[in-house]
Structure 1
Amino acid sequence: MSQLDGMSQLDGLSRAGGGAVLRLLVEDDRLARATWSRLAEPGDVRATKLVSRWGAGPALEQLAASTLRADQPYQARLRVLDPRPALDLLARLGGRLVCPGDEEWPSGFALLPEPPFCLWVRGPLQLDPACVRSVSIVGSRAATHYGNEVAGVLADGVAERGFTVVSGAAYGIDGSAHTAALRAEARTIAVLAGGIDRPYPRAHERLLSEIVATGAVMSEVPLGSASLKNRFLQRNRMIATMTCGTVVVEAAARSGALNTARLAAHYGRPVGAVPGPVTSDVSAGCHQALREGYAVAVTSPAEVAELVGRIGDDLAPRPQGVTREDWDDLDETSRRVLDALPKTRGSAVDKIALVAGLGPDAVRSVLGRLSLLALAEREGAGWRRTPVPRAERERAERERVERERVERERVERERVERERVERERVERERVERERVEREGAERERRGGLPQPGG
């Protein structure tokens, strides 16, 4: 095809009304980016180069006039493409288009060589602010009871610590993580491989609706797009880079979850892996990640927070409602059990034992001691942390502030006293030096006088 043929094609677009649409797309960056998300597959290298070189709108104009064979598939779709109906539908669904430069555009996408052209989003949660303190929890669709339970406990625990839980809304670990975050009334983001108007899997339609109500459901592909296999792999790169770190609960040796973990490590994000039975195929990927050294073992929400949180702020924090004195007085085993206890609903001893990494008998013994200390209580057939009334929490906080004030005053008094003692010592030494100097001068004076009878 010659350059003249390319221009004739562009003229054809104009005669058919497509030229008017194209001019609109060239002039409106957001419309152009929505168009690119429909023209090109996620991670498309050629499309990314065009947009990076020319800008989203002008790149469409260049594409329409191109004579390159590589651009012909794009041109065929561009001739019949108008993104405005899809954007109108997005607005009716209460959604929005998020583009680079927007305040909520995930800053982690700057790590990607082929970032999304735009994001199709539903839900009130603003993406980048929510990801400032976030963790992705991913794993096998064919999760075991152990895996689902641990995923829920980890998500609940990090949510209590203020982390946004990000996952892919799939069966198994993803669903357990989202569900736990919702139950904790915390922030959660679902990153889909298909259009946000096509719940996938279909059985999670209600779960996704709940996430839309308080969190966010997002995708880089437009409305109506199917969840194709290659799109899942590209979806994983977003999960890996938009969060502060990734935790794999269960994953086979070859799995999408392990792909997410490897991508996170590749882009410099911390990775945690939950150990499982050595005979379990669904934990083989976790063990592989630990063996290869790009992941560290995590067994509790505190360890996850320490792994992905801010240095100095998230070092194995004590459970909410537990005073520093209570926490410091406990032995390591008791701390592990207390950290594994849910805050709101009772959990069976066997489940607590799984999370704490202890035997059921040891957990029962510790629960008895924690109960005597009023740190744990029965809830139905299970156990939970003893709730601390708001008034009690406020009282404990006032006492803590008062103790710190008293301690500061004590330290200040000791400092003042040390300075006083030091000043007195210096003064005594000065006086002593002057005395010695006077006596020496007096001896010299006397030594120079004539002796009697001389």
Structure 2
Amino acid sequence: MTYASVVETLSTTTSTSLTRDTVARIIWATVADPGDPRVGALVAALGAETALALLLDGPSSAIVGFGLAGLRAQLRARFERAGAAETVRASAESGYHVLTPSLQDWPAQLEDLRLAAPLALWVRGDPAVLSMRSVLLTGGQDSTGYGRHVAIDLASGLGARGYAIVSGAARGIDHAALASAVASGGHPIAVLAGRVNTRFPADRGALLDDVAANGAVVSEVPPGATPIWWQFARRGQLMAALASKTIVVEASASSDALTAAEHAVELGRPLGAVPGSTSYAAGAGYQVLTGEFGARSVTSPHDADWL
């Protein structure tokens, strides 16, 4: 039931070019919470393979200096040899790209997350687009026709200016932005809270196929994993880190889009917001974004380009 036995099994039964570091990072993703800074610190200090071997297989004294006895108990309880091996096999044989910080297409801007940076990414499509200059266009799911119109206009206009369009693939503003990037021949990037091969609901599955054909669908959750509710908030952090700037097109005061905006501010990324009617709950987030987060008003692709 050890980590070492998983690596040994994979080396003899799986035809793959995955490095041992990549295998270790895939297994980390099956047991650790995305963005856990304790894991980030351990991996940064020891390397993914050594850290995982010590945490799962080594003597308790080996990690005393890190104060991670609680983390060790938590991750050992989650580690299951057959499941970890199957996740590595699926990653190697699915046709998706598995990116890690040592590989060429790893998006360097994610290092701004420091110890909360992803351990690995699964990508369907072209991983090179993740390193393009990009804009996160996001907003609420209960959007108005006006909000969706603005999202479509911004996505096509910014795409024509050479930006990749990052969004979360939810209904409403996210869906409109990604669909517009696809239709206008741009480079869409869909960041998922769940696994990269999700196809639910059906309309989102079709859109994600189009996104993968023209850009990239990306997740830090390994194949087969089921997302937990708080991972949707983590997705906002990942989107904000991937993008060069963030624009909230339309959102309520309690929308998850404001979480992404807050992360953008923390990362020092430019933040914009589209003004809308305050008589609609869907547009109430504008006051929060400008008043509390210091967002600048964006009304056109030109404004967004100069943000």
TM-score of the alignment, normalized to the shorter chain, above 0.5 = yes
Structure showing greater relative contact order (alpha-carbon pairs closer than 8 Å, 6 or more residues apart): 2
Letter in 1 for 2:38: R
Letter in 2 for 1:302: H
**Which aligned pairs between 1:52-451 and structure 2 lie closer than 5 A?**
52-64=44-56, 65-67=58-60, 68-81=69-82, 83-112=84-113, 113-130=115-132, 133-307=133-307
Alignment partners' CA distance in 1, 2:180 and 2:118: 29
Q: How many residues end up aligned between the 2 structures?
A: 290
C-alpha distance after superposition, 1:60-87 (max 9, x if no partner) = 1111225334311211333425544334
Alignment partners' CA distance in 1, 2:71 and 2:130: 35
Q: CA deviation at 1:23?
A: 5.9
Q: CA deviation at 1:88?
A: 3.4
Distance 1:211 1:264, change over 3 A: same
Q: CA deviation at 1:45?
A: 2.6
C-alpha distance after superposition, 1:168-204 (max 9, x if no partner) = 1110000000000001111011000000122344430
RMSD value, Cα = 2.1
Alignment partners' CA distance in 2, 1:111 and 1:253: 27
Letter in 2 for 1:54: L
Alignment partners' CA distance in 1, 2:193 and 2:59: 30
Alignment partners' CA distance in 2, 1:19 and 1:77: 16
Letter in 2 for 1:264: A
Q: Which has the higher helix share?
A: 1
Aligned partner of 1:21 in structure 2 is 6
Distance 1:179 1:128, change over 3 A: closer
Q: CA deviation at 1:293?
A: 5.0
Letter in 1 for 2:299: T
Aligned partner of 1:4 in structure 2 is none
> Secondary structure of 1:122's match?
strand
Distance 1:175 1:228, change over 3 A: same
Alignment partners' CA distance in 2, 1:34 and 1:121: 13
Aligned partner of 1:316 in structure 2 is none
Residues 198 and 223 of structure 1 are in contact (CA less than 8 Å); yes or no, is this contact kept in structure 2? no
Structure 2: which 5+ residue stretches go unaligned? 11-18, 61-68
Compare CA radii of gyration and give the structure with the larger one: 1
Letter in 1 for 2:264: A
Structure 1: which 5+ residue stretches go unaligned? 1-12, 308-454
Letter in 2 for 1:52: A
> Secondary structure of 1:126's match?
helix
Alignment partners' CA distance in 1, 2:88 and 2:80: 18
C-alpha distance after superposition, 1:352-385 (max 9, x if no partner) = xxxxxxxxxxxxxxxxxxxxxxxxxxxxxxxxxx
> Secondary structure of 1:253's match?
coil
- Note if 1:51 corresponds to 2:43: yes
Residues 27 and 88 of structure 2 are in contact (CA less than 8 Å); yes or no, is this contact kept in structure 1? no
Distance 1:125 1:111, change over 3 A: closer
Q: Percent identity?
A: 36
Distance 1:226 1:200, change over 3 A: farther
Residues 130 and 189 of structure 2 are in contact (CA less than 8 Å); yes or no, is this contact kept in structure 1? no
